[in-house]
Amino acid sequence: MRAIVQDQYGQTDVLRLRPDAPTPQIGEDDVLVRVHVTGINAADWHLMTGEPYPVRLVMGLRRPRNPVLGSDFSGVVEAAGTAVTGLSVGDEVMGEVERGTLADLVAVASKHVVRKPKNLTHEQAAAIPMGALTALQAVRDTGKLQPGQSVLVNGASSGVGIYAVQIAVAMGAEVTAICSGRNADMVRSLGASSVVDYTTEDVVATSERYDLIIDIISNRSIADFRKVLTERGRYVLVGAASSGKWFGMGRQLQVVLTSPFVRQTLKPMLANRKQEDLATIVDMVEAGQVTPVIDTVYPFEQAADAIAHVQKGHARGKVVVAI
């Protein structure tokens, strides 16, 4: 099969299209999926560069153990293990794996697969898993959002932010989105009632206070964000710019160490690949509450360009690769 592989950590020039990569083997609980489209996430370029270095403790010290990049997928079941129930050859499915979806075929534990919503194309479905799962768990579980609350989403046009806005609105919140002016209409179309243009306005200088802040960009200090949080409000740290090679968790640590000493609740979150949560998102998609926003669909041969696009940090919603 064809696959985008890397034999060492580095920038996009370490990626190459291998035409004769081995077909993945499936266990009794796995399905083999013919990948139609792969969604690209910030995680992909961290896994490509192996930075911050603790990534390598999990993925392989000198080079990635699985050379095939890519996590999110939408495709069709090609084969199913003997213990798999509820999924058959030919089913259209989507999901997320640790690595391996920038390839014709990927082996996936059936517990990480859900059926693709019928009202979505493979391009749209592949744009969902990691971004929407992260947003759901940030807003509902760590953020404990209640109907009627006010939410500030910092980075509303990002791959996680587009889902955070829509999920918060679906849960009955009033959403203020921080994004650049060029994305203001897009985030309003997702349900945000107000927009703060980070290129011209300072959210900390306003008199607004929010019950919940979903921070996907972390470009302001924790102290700044606390100023626009209600007295008992919650701050959820989703993304922290980790340009450091050695340790990218400084902000997470700061949040954990500060929270016990203030009345507000400050928490970092780490998304968890849960099938039931992905199924919840599929329900929301089918109910018309959540819809993906796709910036660009790249052809397979240009997968490295797709990663570079996301790495620059200005994708509008999601970038996907058609296999």
Burial class (CB in 10 A: 0-12, 13-18, 19+), 273: middle
Q: Give the residue from 117, 124, 161, 155 showing the smallest Cα distance to 139.
A: 161
Residue 151 C-beta: closest distance to ligand NAP, Å? 15
In the complex with ligand NAP, the residue whose CB is nearer, 4 or 203, is 203
Task: Tell me which of 315, 320, 321, 323 binds ligand NAP, using CB under 6 A.
Answer: 315
Give me the helices (H) in the chain, please.
42-49, 54-59, 122-126, 129-136, 161-170, 184-189, 222-227, 250-258, 275-286, 303-311
Answer yes or no: are the C-beta atoms of 319 and 310 closer than 8 Å: yes
- Residue 134 is a binding residue for ligand NAP (CB under 6 A): yes
Residue 135 C-beta: closest distance to ligand NAP, Å? 9
Position closest to ligand NAP via CB: 239
DSSP character string of 255-312: HHHHGGGSSSEEEE------HHHHHHHHHHHHTTS----EEEEEEGGGHHHHHHHHHT
In the complex with ligand NAP, the residue whose CB is nearer, 74 or 134, is 134
Residue 36 C-beta: closest distance to ligand NAP, Å? 21
In the complex with ligand NAP, the residue whose CB is nearer, 196 or 229, is 196
Residue 240 C-beta: closest distance to ligand NAP, Å? 6
- Residue 166 is a binding residue for ligand NAP (CB under 6 A): no
Report d(CA 195, CA 214) in Å as an integer: 14
The maximal CA–CA distance of the chain, rounded, in angstroms, is 60
Q: Give the residue from 39, 132, 148, 117 showing the smallest Cα distance to 287.
A: 117
Q: Which amino acid is at 265?
A: T
Taking CB under 6 A as the rule, which mask of x and - marks residues 261-300 in contact with ligand NAP?
--------xxx-----------------------------
Taking CB under 6 A as the rule, which mask of x and - marks residues 64-103 in contact with ligand NAP?
----------------------------------------
- Residue 192 is a binding residue for ligand NAP (CB under 6 A): no
Q: What one-character DSSP code corresponds to residue 137?
A: I
Contact stretch for ligand NAP (CB under 6 A) within 1-9, 54-62, 174-182, 259-267: 174-182
In the complex with ligand NAP, the residue whose CB is nearer, 31 or 41, is 41
List of residues contacting ligand NAP (CB under 6 A): 41-42, 130, 134, 154-155, 157-161, 178-180, 182-183, 198, 216-217, 219, 238-239, 269-271, 310, 313-316
